[in-house]
Amino acid sequence: MKRNNIIKGFLYLGIASFSIGCTNLDEKILDGVSNDTSGGGTINTAALLETAYNGLRDFNGQGGVYALNEMSTDAMVGPTRGGDWDDNGVWRQIHTQTWAPDHGEVRGAWNSLLSNVYNCNLIIENGGTTAQKVEARFLRAWYYYNIVDLFGQAPYRPAGSALTEDPKVWSRSEATDFIISELEAIVNSLPNRTANDASIANKDAAHFLLAKVYLNKGVFKASNPAGPYTFDAADMTKVVQHVDAITNTLSTDYWSNFETNNNTSSEIIFSSKNIQGGDGGNMQSKWRMCNHYNQSPSGWNGFTTVADYYSTFNTSDKRISYSTPTILSNFGNPVGFLVGQIKNGKNIDAKGSPKDANGNAYTNLAAGTLNLKDRNGNPLVFTSAITLITSGTTLETAGIRGIKYVPDAVNIEKPDNDLVLMRYSDALLMKAEAITRGGTGTGVATILSNLATRAGVTAAAATLDGIYAERGRELWWEGWRRNDAIRFGKFLAARALKPYASDAKYLLYPIPADALFNSNLSQNPGY
């Protein structure tokens, strides 16, 4: 496949009314121009729709959109551990809010989101079936929502416009209006959510996303990204109405949402599907990114939570630790947040099987009978204390690790866990917040009580501060912390490992330098 005008057109073209014959992910057209006619001049819209769905996996890996949403907050940090995990400071820059327009994870997120918009547009404008077009419009709205949230302005191309022209650009307010109008136009045409499979665009997912947009409308419509934000009562009532239209129910077990067979959870509204032994959607990063090299499963000894964030949980909160005989047998430790002495598990894989002093693997020992050590022979005891640059005896042990998804012991690298993108507990907390901000509705205390009962803790206060704290506990590491922190006015504040208030420019990420070849784009203020 040939690529022309890559820099100018790279991933920003939006709607394109032309034909391509290549849909392989590794050879996907990045610039909107193809001289390849081997496909007979027709577009395989079914394959493109699959590609558009697979784009949801970009929310899964440790970097990109996920890192921008979690590591930029009080919830997650990627410290440098001697020669490990420095990567030119890219993770520390995200956590300390000191990134610049050349940051690789910022560029990766921008390119990913707009590439996925592009794939959706090919389906919509080039002969997709009615059902395919509706699903593609939903997915496009989801990707645009994230562009608006992270970057503010959003490139688009009107149908039929010349490919030699620069794409036009919506302001944040205009893009917000587009997302709402698209979702309201298609919500009733989407299928009902399929039981035991939330991976297909559905009515409940559209209602969830509409609730999310209306809840953030005061932020997205503000003349200044730093506010002040006005949360209109009518918009808050819309949030309540869309949440009430969702047919999901809370699961009785919080961790059923993250098990290997989590597709059966009644709580998951929308997900990215994985099949055991398939390509896995990079789900293994959910345990690799934090686990130590000698753990089962082994990991990359990287990311941790911050002690102050962990301290917001009651130690009896079921959401921070989950253990079954099978989990302990396979992995030696519970899942959730890991602190203290780490033990061996029988499912020690090829990426880093720990050895005894004689070089023999520990797999012949009963899981949990051995206290693991780090690579220098020190006890592998995870501690709450963490610094941005660790050294000495705590080099490999500093920081509380997090495992949100139960590793799939049958296939660690290509697991069965679906990636959760929308969950009913989030919808209920949006409703509680919207009512508290002036929307019409009742039941805030009941929502908080139900979530607390499931978690085995006392209910949060029915105030905005209480709801913000509960969102942090209920949705830890699920990709919403930055969005919440901005809406609640907490994002820029001084905190542990960032002892200063950040400049307001960091409420939006910069437009990557390459994208500015589009003359209709301008850099976000302050960069």
Q: Residue 376's pLDDT band (boundaries 50, 70, 90)?
A: confident
Question: Can you tell me the mean pLDDT for 221-235?
Answer: 97
Model pLDDT, residue 424: 98
pTM (two decimals) = 0.90
Question: Can you tell me the mean pLDDT for 473-492?
Answer: 98
Model pLDDT, residue 222: 98
Average pLDDT score over the chain: 88
Question: Can you tell me the mean pLDDT for 294-306?
Answer: 93
Q: By mean pLDDT, which of 31-35, 76-80, 412-416, 480-484 is the weakest?
A: 31-35
Model pLDDT, residue 367: 62
Model pLDDT, residue 205: 98
Q: Residue 35's pLDDT band (boundaries 50, 70, 90)?
A: very low
Tokens linked to 462? 């029915």
- Bridge partner residues of 304 (DSSP): 77
Model pLDDT, residue 354: 52
Tokens linked to 512? 């990557």
SS3 421: strand
Residue 2 confidence (pLDDT) above 50: no
Q: By mean pLDDT, which of 146-150, 389-393, 473-477, 489-493 is the weakest?
A: 389-393
Model pLDDT, residue 90: 93
Residue 334 confidence (pLDDT) above 60: yes
Question: Can you tell me the mean pLDDT for 376-382?
Answer: 92
H runs (alpha helix) in 221-306: 233-244, 285-288
Question: Can you tell me the mean pLDDT for 506-519?
Answer: 96
Model pLDDT, residue 182: 98
Residue 397 confidence (pLDDT) above 50: yes
Q: Phi, psi (5° rounding) for residue 46?
A: -65, -45
Could you tell me the end-to-end alpha-carbon distance of the chain, in angstroms, rounded to an integer?
36
Residue 6 confidence (pLDDT) above 90: no
The residue among 416, 390, 362 whose CA lies nearest residue 304 is 390
Residue carrying the six token digits 């009978």: 369
Which structural domains are found in the chain, ordered by start?
Answer: 1-189+492-527 (1.25.40.390), 202-273+424-489 (1.25.40.900), 278-417 (no CATH)
Residue 5 confidence (pLDDT) above 70: no
Model pLDDT, residue 361: 55
Strand 321-322 versus strand 268-272 pairing type: unpaired
